[in-house]
Structure 1
Amino acid sequence: MQSDSLAASNAESHAIGLDAATAVAGTLKALADPLRLRMLSAIATSSGGEATVGDLATLTEVSQPTVSHHLKVLRDVGLLTAERRGTWVWYRIEPAYRGAVTTLLDRFAPATIDLRPDEHHLPGLKNVDHELDSLATSLAERIPGTTLEECLQVVRESYAALARRGGLATHLVPLTEHFARQRLVDVVKARETDEHVPQVLFVCVANAGRSQLAAALMHHYAGDRVVVRSAGSTPAADVHATIRGLLAELGDPDSADDVPYPKPLTDDAVRAADIVITMGCGDACPVLPGKRYEDWAVGDPALASPSGVAAIRDELDARVRALLADLLPV
């Protein structure tokens, strides 16, 4: 009896409080509708961060009063704010909820769509110390301006960062070689003072969709005239299947053996970049002096319909070409 009482006490101390659970459940209940989730994502990724009932009515065949009802449900739980300007009411994400909405749309939602479940159960190497040491020695010989000690540190950090994101464990060492080499090149470049090729870093949360596609588009148009990198503040295990075909068509500059993979965001990548483009990663990207930062509000292709993916690609294409024209004026 005493052990049962102790177990109950431990459970109570670890469980979320009843009041908090009731509040969270109410918000989750309001979100438990496909149309409301689509409207929330449309508002969050719109260019101005806001939308009207008329804008959102294009997502479905229901009437505008029905859309207004769904928006009221989201407003009642505090997720949305509304402002009347003239004859229109504009809806925005409540500022206090922006981080939570980003996590919901960029991390939780894609995780629930398990497209390739069997690929994530492959066994990894039991002992990689020898492989990592050999890799560091090889990189120190191949990359001028680096030392063996520096290469060892970057290789081990890179392997640990890639291992934490999950994914194809058997491919970790080859991916580590590519990722560590990229990081070391960035470190060397950041130390240089001479004229150099402009470098652009695209950052989103998972580095599994938007930032990968933007980097591939930039490389497609710029070639060797611009150094292109992409990264994720919380990288996913794999690139979204919805854009793999697009990356294959464009050629992915950040891939290892032509296989794109999500990469963790590192300080050295930011230091080496001249321009940092963020897409939904919030405050996770470090802000360093002397860098140009832009934030692109673009939808997530992982959750989009085929026509939505095409629209996202077109929007990124236009933004990339405009940035390139600014970087390399004719």
Structure 2
Amino acid sequence: MTAAQTATAERPGPAAAHAIGHDAAASVAAMLKALADPLRVRILSAVAVDPRGESCVCDLATLADVTQPTVSHHLKVLKDVGVLTSQRRGTWVWYRIIPNRRAAVTALLDSFATLDVAGDEPAVDDALDADLDARVTCLAAQLTGELPDPGERAVFATVRESCTALARSAGMTGALLARTERFARQRLSDRARDRATAPPQVLFVCVANAGRSQLAAALVDRLAAGRIVARSAGSNPAAGIHPHVAALLAEIDGDAAAQRFPKPLTDDAVRAADVVITMGCGDVCPIVPGVRYEDWAVGDPALASRDGAEAIRDDIAVRVRALVDDLLT
């Protein structure tokens, strides 16, 4: 081997050059090892979704049929690896996620919550799979006849893009074409919106669009009774609404709840909105001049029990009432 070949062999390749550093890898590995216990994951999720921003050890002790010292042991493990911090107040100890770890913890829990929402692989509709292209083409032609203003090419492109985006999350299910039609109509409507004459429009964005953003949009629809247009979307949409949330949506929407489904975030929805509310999805929304942005720190019902999901719904409802009053006055 020549000297040049030896130097090339010793020089790290692109993968090694961009790999996570040793110290950071050791820290991440320690955290992941600490989370390799179901009760610790539940404890961490309970702290993450607590609307107070922290949880008392007395509350966490109710998560499982174990003694309080056992819960305290698990909390100590999470604290030792740098995920949680604690503060004693009187006879109780309160735990919260260390601020610079919150984004990582939220991303981790939300990602796995999305997988849990997806559940089993959706059944494939063979007939739809066989002639999907023809059906999408027929749908695009129908919408072109109803909505001639955007132009045939724009309508066809929107329908196909919408179908592709939904297929990534919803799979080849029998509902894909119906969802594509609703999603494409929404996008075309958003593009044609005239801010000067249209009612106020608000967009709720979370990670999976399977929980809190769906609840918020449904509550706006109920409270505003058509005076405000509510949209929802996800930065990483799930295949379906979370079961806890589906039950709550049925209480809010009745039969109309069945028409709600996770949708991907698009520029169309952001540009059409007067207000964009983010809910745990980070800085994923493009910044559009004239659009008002807010971030609501609310828990994720996909990570909560049924009672916890109801508490999150109530928290969202209070915020939605204030938002509706503000937009209508």
Shorter-chain TM range is 0.7 to 0.9
Is the 1:122–1:168 contact (alpha carbons within 8 Å) kept by the matching residues of 2? yes
Query: Helix, strand or coil: the match of 1:283?
Result: coil
Is the 1:167–1:238 contact (alpha carbons within 8 Å) kept by the matching residues of 2? no
Amino acid at match of 1:166: A
Tell me how far apart the structure 1 counterparts of residues 320 and 155 of structure 2 sit (CA, whole Å).
33
1:9 corresponds to which residue?
Answer: none
1:163 corresponds to which residue?
Answer: 167
- Of residues 173, 183, 189, the one that matches 1:185 is 189
> Is 2:270 the partner of 1:270?
yes
- Residue deviations 1:153-178, cap 9 Å, x none? 21111111111113353322221111
Tell me how far apart the structure 2 counterparts of residues 168 and 241 of structure 1 sit (CA, whole Å).
21
Amino acid at match of 2:147: I
Is the 2:117–2:241 contact (alpha carbons within 8 Å) kept by the matching residues of 1? no
Q: Show the 5 A alignment for 1:166-315.
A: 166-189=170-193, 192-251=194-253, 258-315=258-315
Is the 1:46–1:297 contact (alpha carbons within 8 Å) kept by the matching residues of 2? no
Q: TM-score, normalising length from structure 1?
A: 0.80
Q: 1:226 to 1:296 in 2, by over 3 A?
A: same
Is the 1:200–1:229 contact (alpha carbons within 8 Å) kept by the matching residues of 2? yes
Moved more, 260-269 or 44-53: 44-53
- Residue deviations 1:115-172, cap 9 Å, x none? 5x26444444234333223322322332363211111121111111111113353322
Q: Show the 5 A alignment for 1:109-124.
A: 109-112=113-116, 115=119, 117=120, 119-123=122-126, 124=128
Q: Show the 5 A alignment for 1:10-89.
A: 24-47=28-51, 49-53=53-57, 56-57=60-61, 59=63, 66-82=70-86
Q: 1:94 to 1:253 in 2, by over 3 A?
A: farther
Structure 1 runs not aligned, ≥5 long: 1-11
Tell me how far apart the structure 1 counterparts of residues 318 and 259 of structure 2 sit (CA, whole Å).
25
Structure 2 runs not aligned, ≥5 long: 1-14
Moved more, 221-230 or 61-70: 61-70
Is the 1:125–1:170 contact (alpha carbons within 8 Å) kept by the matching residues of 2? no
- Of residues 78, 93, 103, the one that matches 2:107 is 103
Amino acid at match of 1:324: V
Q: 1:277 to 1:58 in 2, by over 3 A?
A: farther
Q: CA deviation at 1:79?
A: 2.0
Tell me how far apart the structure 1 counterparts of residues 188 and 53 of structure 2 sit (CA, whole Å).
37
Q: CA deviation at 1:82?
A: 4.9
Is the 2:202–2:275 contact (alpha carbons within 8 Å) kept by the matching residues of 1? yes
Tell me how far apart the structure 1 counterparts of residues 273 and 158 of structure 2 sit (CA, whole Å).
18
Amino acid at match of 2:313: R
Moved more, 180-189 or 97-106: 97-106
Amino acid at match of 2:207: V
> Is 2:325 the partner of 1:321?
no
Q: 1:253 to 1:278 in 2, by over 3 A?
A: farther
Tell me how far apart the structure 1 counterparts of residues 118 and 153 of structure 2 sit (CA, whole Å).
40
Q: 1:197 to 1:83 in 2, by over 3 A?
A: same
Amino acid at match of 1:259: Q
* Count of matched residue positions in the alignment of Structure 1 and Structure 2: 311
Q: TM-score, normalising length from structure 2?
A: 0.81
Moved more, 94-103 or 175-184: 94-103
